[in-house]
């Protein structure tokens, strides 16, 4: 069997959580310091250094991207140790650079890996309109339906009233009308400052009271969230959302269909997907990095679609040793 025939195997999961742990630890040194670029640079360097040891031949499909002026983890970069499976990779060393810099809730480090050729590349389109739900919403809610109809139908499927439904929405001026419509339908709104990957994941976590994610957020985050949903059994629907005429024209010239609603399986077309995330600052999904005495505590989640396994990993690291290997300054 050649490398090109192989897909990611079960041993990859804990390698990936080491990757997000390293990025979260590096970023944590910059929490509350008001320097987004420094935090992001530290996380990128740490993530890439550990990725170099992961047994795979991965190609970055969703990376730091042009908007980040990234010299590393850019789209198309080949990562891993050059052995093992050939794979697509999506990374966000810090999902939530502003919360990290400002010391606010909701930042984490994220990576997803899937069979080569399975991840959607959004091209020049930076944003997508999204709808995420847990398994109960499959075949029940739709991006093309109104928020009111989606709330009503999901409430019916869950056997609750619309007033018992909670919708996560990014707190942005563009969502003023959406927020009002959700409230007028009787549902609760959970405004989030950043981090719609974690909000999408929460819709499919039993312990969470978030039922839906609605609104426009980053297109790279849509692919990362779809990878998580392949593992969790939930869904993410999304449509490309050009910011201006120039972005629209470039997308059309490259053959993108701006009316198409992408299903989860189109965003990540594989049944062998890994997803890992580690908290940087505290959030509902994961606790952030904490230094207690001489120990550093991290909280991570790691999932695999093929087995349906979801692990939470609470780790302790020695502060002096992390500083010795320059993972924490």
The CATH number of whichever domain residue 66 belongs to comes to 3.30.540.10
Count CB atoms within 10 A of the CB of residue 294.
11
Strands (E), the chain: 57-62, 78-79, 86-95, 108-115, 127-133, 166-170, 188-192, 212-218, 235-240, 273-279, 290-292, 295-304, 309-318
Residue 61 within any structural domain of the chain: yes
In sequence order, what are the beta bridge partners of 166?
A: 188
Residue 92 annotated as binding site? yes
Residue 3 within any structural domain of the chain: no
Residue 293 annotated as binding site? no
Task: Identify whether residues 146 and 198 lie together within a single domain.
Answer: yes
Residue 122 within any structural domain of the chain: no
Which secondary-structure segment (H or E) carries 200? Answer: helix 196-202
Higher pLDDT, 241 or 1: 241
CA distance 70 to 64: 6
The SS3 assignment for 256 reads coil
Residue 48 within any structural domain of the chain: yes
Domain total of the chain = 2
Q: Is the pLDDT of residue 298 over 80?
A: yes
* pLDDT of amino acid 64: 78
Q: Strand 166-170 relative to strand 108-115: parallel, antiparallel, unpaired?
A: unpaired
Tokens of 239: 């449509």
Residues 133-146, mean pLDDT to the nearest whole number:
98
Task: Identify whether residues 151 and 103 lie together within a single domain.
Answer: no
* pLDDT of amino acid 11: 61
Residue 289 within any structural domain of the chain: yes
Report yes or no on whether pTM surpasses 0.85: yes
- Average pLDDT score, the chain: 92
Q: Is the pLDDT of residue 67 over 90?
A: no
* pLDDT of amino acid 8: 64
* Contacts for 84 with CB less than 8 Å, ≥ 6 apart: 3, 6, 8, 9, 12, 54, 55, 56, 57
Count CB atoms within 10 A of the CB of residue 251.
18
Task: Identify whether residues 153 and 258 lie together within a single domain.
Answer: yes
The SS3 assignment for 60 reads strand
Residue 77 within any structural domain of the chain: yes
Task: Identify whether residues 111 and 139 lie together within a single domain.
Answer: no
Residue 40 annotated as binding site? yes
Residue 144 annotated as binding site? no
Residue 173 annotated as binding site? yes
Residue 21 annotated as binding site? no
Residue 99 annotated as binding site? no
Residue 127 annotated as binding site? yes
Residue 241 within any structural domain of the chain: yes
Q: Domain range for residue 157?
A: 127-267
């Amino acid at each position: 069997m050649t490398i090109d025939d192989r897909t990611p195997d079960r041993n990859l999961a804990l390698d990936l959580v080491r990757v997000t742990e390293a990025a979260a630890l590096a970023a944590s040194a910059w929490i509350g310091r008001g320097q987004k670029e420094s935090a992001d640079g530290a996380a990128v360097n740490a993530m890439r250094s550990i990725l170099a040891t992961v047994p795979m031949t991965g190609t970055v499909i969703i990376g730091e991207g042009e908007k980040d002026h990234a010299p590393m983890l850019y789209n198309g970069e080949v990562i891993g140790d050059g052995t093992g499976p050939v794979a697509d990779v999506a990374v966000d060393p810090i999902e939530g650079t502003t919360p990290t810099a400002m010391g606010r809730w909701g930042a984490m480090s994220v990576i997803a890996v899937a069979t080569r050729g399975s991840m959607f590349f959004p091209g020049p389109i930076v944003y997508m309109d999204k709808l995420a739900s847990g398994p109960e919403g499959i075949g029940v809610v739709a991006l093309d339906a109104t928020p009111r109809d989606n709330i009503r139908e999901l409430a019916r499927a869950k056997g609750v009233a619309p007033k018992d439904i909670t919708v996560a929405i990014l707190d942005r001026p563009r969502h003023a009308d959406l927020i009002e419509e959700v409230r007028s339908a009787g549902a609760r709104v959970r405004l989030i400052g950043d981090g719609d990957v974690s909000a999408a994941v929460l819709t499919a976590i039993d312990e969470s009271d978030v039922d839906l994610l609605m609104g426009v957020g980053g297109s790279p985050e849509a692919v990362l969230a779809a990878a998580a949903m392949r593992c969790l059994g939930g869904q993410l629907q999304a449509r490309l959302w050009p910011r201006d005429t120039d972005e629209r024209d470039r997308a059309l010239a490259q053959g993108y269909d701006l009316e198409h609603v992408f299903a989860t399986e189109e965003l990540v077309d594989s049944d062998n997907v890994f997803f890992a995330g580690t908290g940087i600052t505290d959030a509902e999904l994961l606790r952030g990095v904490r230094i207690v005495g001489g120990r550093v505590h991290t909280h991570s989640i790691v999932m695999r679609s093929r087995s349906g396994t979801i692990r939470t990993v609470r780790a302790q690291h020695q502060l002096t040793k992390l500083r010795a290997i320059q993972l924490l300054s």
